[in-house]
Amino acid sequence: MPRRTMVEAIRDAMDVAMQRDDNVVVFGEDVGYFGGVFRCTQGLQQKFGASRCFDTPISELGIVGAAVGMAAYGLRPCVEIQFADYMYPAYDQIVSEAARLRYRSNGQFTAPMVVRMPTGGGIFGGQTHSQSPEALFTHVAGLKTVVPSNPYDAKGLLIASIEDNDPVIFLEPKRLYNGPFDGHHERPVTPWARHPLGEVPEGHYTVPLGKAAVRREGAAVTVLAYGTMVFVAEAAVQETGIDAEIIDLRTLVPYDLDTIAASVEKTGRCVVVHEATLTSGFGAELSALVQENCFYHLEAPVVRVTGWDTPYPHAQEWDYFPGPARVGRALKAVMEA
Amino acid sequence: MPDAKPLSFQVPAPAVRPGGTPDFSDVQISRAGEVRRPEVDAAPEDIRDLAYAIIRVLNRESEAVGPWAGLLSDAELLEGLRHMMTLRVFDARMQMAQRQGKTSFYMQHMGEEAVSCAFRKALEPGDMNFPTYRQAGLLIAGGYPMLDMMCQIYSNELDPMKGRQLPVLYSAREHGFFSISGNLATQFIQAVGWAMASAMKRDTRIAVGWIGDGSTAESDFHAGLVFASTYKAPVVLNIVNNQWAISTFQGIARGGSGTFAARGLGFGLPALRVDGNDYLAVHAVAKWAIERARRNLGPTLVEYVTYRVGAHSTSDDPSAYRPKTESDAWPLGDPVLRLKGHLILRGIWSEERHKQAEAEILAEVIAIQKEAESHGTLHSGPHPSARDMFEGVYEQMPPHLRRQRQQAGV
């Protein structure tokens, strides 16, 4: 089976979706001729023509607003916001329009569209190229929010998102584009070619939205993670020797409560990790869900390991990023509680 | 800079506020028939003057004059008058129903009826409007059932939106009427997106974006113009300048720019200004812009100069921010009276027939209203179920919503 980077897997997903359905169109800033600043759309304009894949003015509001109109027409736009940090001008179109169109028109108009955006830190991008704004989407009724952690899932989840009849926010952890990253920034980059989840089947397949994956089975503690933090958690588990069960949520909304609850009921302990800031982060929701649904199985309080409540800094990137050492300390603390 | 004088901050203000004498002397009005009618494929740079003039057909003597006249038959004009009269009666009844507590909110069109009623008649089936809340004439003139409109306003058991939307935020896909958001201006760029899609699919349908003078200040307006001009989208972009954004006069959004239409010039768009209270002029300009879009000649920006005679909504009192008699002083008159005068002059209408038509329309609207109320009003009678509240958030209800619906016990 071919090994692909996450960038290639994402590109392949759009390629497959565009071949299967003429209504799938791809556009965004630098997306057409150049193929995107991260190269995710490279070759698509050449292959499908400029009316299926094209460049847009620098207007996130315009990109998403036009996509809502196109979706209402009957297309399936899959648009790129160059960095998740740039999505704020489009937020009204996402929240008030795409998310609510089906509801407010009682299904007369829908917004089957995907808004892709690179998310997260680890590339020395400073405060405007490193944010993880997933909680700003998970809080919105009518949106689905997806965060893949590897090439196999990225392709299958993106095809599923494009085929979904509701608007999907597809957050691509940019530090994972070229290889799994476990937070050990001082070590050489591992390429996807050496990781089993870099094996990406040819052609069409989907990974269903709303289903988590158990990345590592374990009995001692459940780690709830998504995106880059899945690999950080794996490193922390390896380094502490704690027999943790690592759950990769993959879809944040709708979330897979069955998988989460089954694991916590088994382990009795839970650590929630994400890169985004702590307060009102998606970890708060996960923590509350575990408390509400698994309280009588818990041996210890749920602990969150997240980015600090500061803007994402530049020079202090590795002080901010919740790396394996911090996750490892949390695992130990939960085990000792 | 030791010699620099202190700067001064400037806030535009309307000529008159309550207590003052209405003054529209600054509104430059072209004579009816005076503004030229360029070919539909005219180059935008050759018709820049149209962004500053006002295209008018009906003169003070009620005659239809000039190059934009002569497009409508007697029957079409009579129908147009009936649509405007119907919208006015509909508004009066719904305004009253709100005062009687039968619904929470209403927005009327008084003075602006010609804009949406006349525009609608220039469209073809399949074309899509992205309206604001003050274009119900698109529905009335398009034959959408008033019963459905009222049931929406009452949020009753027959509400096509199942009680989810504020009154008047209709949606009528089959009638070319996109779901109204309630957040201003968002629809403007969506109309451009819809039009881009139509062009991508080599369709023949066009889109129409609507916006008010006040909300041209939103970024969505700018994005709409950028995308429309970049991709030459088959879209007509309509600005309804009714002079007032709730209590804020149009000069706050317009600032130092000459006109709202002139905003299009920097984008290389043909930009026209039209007398929004002149049914014939609105229709003629609509036809021109729609043909342009249909012939793949690209977008057109149109400003309708009109006046909001009524309050913004049932939640504000205009006498708090403008002279009570200001609407009487509005120099472009009343759209219903102007078309009525023209039809009488044409010899196809009379005062008696007008009175009779008013009575007929009132009876018709009251009968429909009774039927609508038999299906419930906001606070009494049958209404959408609490269970409906959980439907349609997603195509398939996800587990967390299912659990919440169970918790709600519905």
> Tens digits of per-residue pLDDT, A117-158?
999 999 999 999 999 999 999 999 999 999 999 999 999 999
Task: Let me know whether A182 and A249 are in one domain.
Answer: no
| Nearest residue to B299 (alpha-carbon basis) of B213, B242, B239 | B239
Domain membership of residue A298 as a residue range? 213-336
The per-residue pLDDT for B214 is 97
Instruction: Band the pLDDT of A93: cuts 50, 70, 90.
Output: very high
**Global pTM exceeds 0.95:** yes
| Tokens linked to B116 | 């949406």
Domain ranges across chain B: 44-246+254-379, 386-410
ipTM at complex level: 0.97
Element (H, E) at A146: strand A144-146
Chain A CB contacts of B392 under 8 Å are 102-103, 106-107
B90 touches B136 (CB < 8 A): yes
Element (H, E) at A78: strand A76-80
A337: which residues sit within 8 A by CB, 6+ positions away?
A269, A299, A300, A301
Contact A108 B179 (CB under 8 A): yes
Residues B99, B101, B104: CA angle, nearest 5 degrees: 90
Chosen from A104, A143, A168, A209 to mutate, greatest number of chain B CBs within 10 A = A104
Gap from A88 CA to chain B (nearest CA, Å) = 12
Chain A CB contacts of B193 under 8 Å are 65-70, 72-73
Q: Which residues of B touch A (CB under 8 A)?
A: 128, 130, 160-162, 164-165, 169, 171-173, 178-179, 181, 183, 186, 188-198, 200-201, 207, 219-220, 222-224, 226-227, 230, 392-395, 398-400
Q: Helix or strand or coil: residue A318?
A: helix
Chain B CB contacts of A98 under 8 Å are none
| Tokens linked to B349 | 């209408």
Instruction: Band the pLDDT of B256: cuts 50, 70, 90.
Output: confident
Q: Residue A206: inside a domain, yes or no?
A: no
pLDDT for B1 beyond 70: no
Instruction: Give chain A's mean pLDDT.
Output: 98
Gap from A256 CA to chain B (nearest CA, Å) = 9
Q: Residue A208: inside a domain, yes or no?
A: no
Residue B114, Ramachandran bin (φ over 0: left; ψ between -120 and 50: alpha; else beta): alpha
Q: Which residues pair with B208 in a beta bridge?
A: B129, B236
* Residue B50 C-alpha from the chain's centroid: 21
Gap from B316 CA to chain A (nearest CA, Å) = 24
Task: Let me know whether A190 and A233 are in one domain.
Answer: no
Of B197, B201, B230, the CB nearest to A69: B197
Element (H, E) at A76: strand A76-80
A163 touches A206 (CB < 8 A): yes
Task: Let me know whether A72 and A163 are in one domain.
Answer: yes
Of B179, B186, B393, the CB nearest to A65: B186
The per-residue pLDDT for B281 is 98
Chosen from B165, B168, B190 to mutate, greatest number of chain A CBs within 10 A = B190
Q: Please determine, looking at this structure, whether the domain spanning B44-246+254-379 carries the CATH number 3.30.930.10.
A: no
Instruction: Indicate the number of domains in chain A.
Output: 2
Q: Helix or strand or coil: residue A57?
A: coil
Share of chain A above pLDDT 70, in %: 100
Chosen from B179, B225, B396 to mutate, greatest number of chain A CBs within 10 A = B179
Of B171, B222, B227, the CB nearest to A66: B227
Q: Residue A165: inside a domain, yes or no?
A: yes
Catalytic residue among A129, A139, A185, A274: A129
Q: Residue A14: inside a domain, yes or no?
A: yes
Residue of A nearest to B191 (CA): A69
Chain A CB contacts of B398 under 8 Å are 210, 253-254
Q: What is the pLDDT of residues B65-116, one digit of tens each?
A: 999 999 999 999 999 999 999 999 999 999 999 999 999 999 999 999 999 9
Contact B183 A92 (CB under 8 A): yes
Chosen from B164, B186, B196 to mutate, greatest number of chain A CBs within 10 A = B196
Q: Residue A207: inside a domain, yes or no?
A: no
Chain A CB contacts of B196 under 8 Å are 66, 69-70
pLDDT for B218 beyond 80: yes
Gap from A317 CA to chain B (nearest CA, Å) = 33
Q: Residue A169: inside a domain, yes or no?
A: yes
Of A69, A108, A253, the CB nearest to B193: A69
Gap from B401 CA to chain A (nearest CA, Å) = 9
Share of chain A above pLDDT 90, in %: 99
CB pairs under 8 A between A and B: 143
pLDDT for B2 beyond 80: no
Q: What is the pLDDT of residues A231-282, one digit of tens each?
A: 999 999 999 999 999 999 999 999 999 999 999 999 999 999 999 999 999 9
Contact B197 A104 (CB under 8 A): no
Task: Let me know whether A158 and A13 are in one domain.
Answer: yes
Task: Let me know whether A158 and A218 are in one domain.
Answer: no
Last residue of a domain, one of A154, A169, A198: A198
Q: For residues A150 and B256, which has the higher predicted lDDT (pLDDT)?
A: A150
- In single-letter form, the type of residue at position A30 comes to D
Chain A CB contacts of B395 under 8 Å are 102, 110, 164-166
pLDDT for A33 beyond 70: yes
The dihedral over CA atoms of A210, A211, A216, A222, expressed in degrees to the nearest 10, equals 50
The per-residue pLDDT for B26 is 84
Q: Say if residue A254 is preceded by a cis peptide, omega within 30 of 0.
A: yes
Contact A69 B395 (CB under 8 A): no
Q: For B221-234, what is the mean pLDDT?
A: 98
Return the CATH number at A308: 3.40.50.920
Contact B398 A109 (CB under 8 A): no
Of B226, B394, B398, the CB nearest to A57: B226
Q: What is the pLDDT of residues B344-400, one digit of tens each?
A: 999 999 999 999 999 999 999 999 999 999 999 999 999 999 999 999 999 999 999
Chain A CB contacts of B178 under 8 Å are 72, 109
Q: What is the pLDDT of residues A187-239, one digit of tens each?
A: 998 999 999 999 999 999 999 999 999 999 999 999 999 999 999 999 999 99
Q: For A87-113, what is the mean pLDDT?
A: 98
Chain A CB contacts of B192 under 8 Å are 65-66, 69
| Nearest residue to B44 (alpha-carbon basis) of B339, B328, B300, B341 | B300
Chain B CB contacts of A57 under 8 Å are 223, 226-227, 230
Instruction: Decide if A129 is catalytic.
Output: yes
Q: Which residues of A touch B (CB under 8 A)?
A: 25, 51-52, 56-57, 59, 61-62, 65-70, 72-75, 89, 92-93, 96-97, 101-110, 141-142, 144, 164-166, 210, 253-255, 257-258
Contact A109 B183 (CB under 8 A): no
Last residue of a domain, one of A146, A166, A198: A198
Chain B CB contacts of A92 under 8 Å are 183, 186, 220
Last residue of a domain, one of A158, A174, A198: A198
Beta-sheet pairing, A244-248 with A213-216: antiparallel
Of A89, A105, A110, the CB nearest to B161: A105
Return the CATH number at A133: 3.40.50.970
